Amino acid sequence: YYVPLYELYGTTPSEVRIASTPAMVMEWLANQEADLGALAKDEFDRLRPQFSPTTFRILRASRRIPSGSVLISPAIDRNQQAVIQKAMSEVLPNIAQQVGYIPSAAPPDYNTLIEFIEKVKPIEANINEKPARLYE
- This prediction has a pTM of 0.66
Q: What is the pLDDT of residues 27-69, one digit of tens each?
A: 999 999 998 888 888 889 999 999 888 888 888 887 777 776 6
Average pLDDT, the chain: 86
Contact by Cβ (8 Å): 47, 22: yes
- How many angstroms separate the CA atoms of 132 and 93, rounded? 43
Contact by Cβ (8 Å): 88, 101: yes
pLDDT at 97 over 80: no
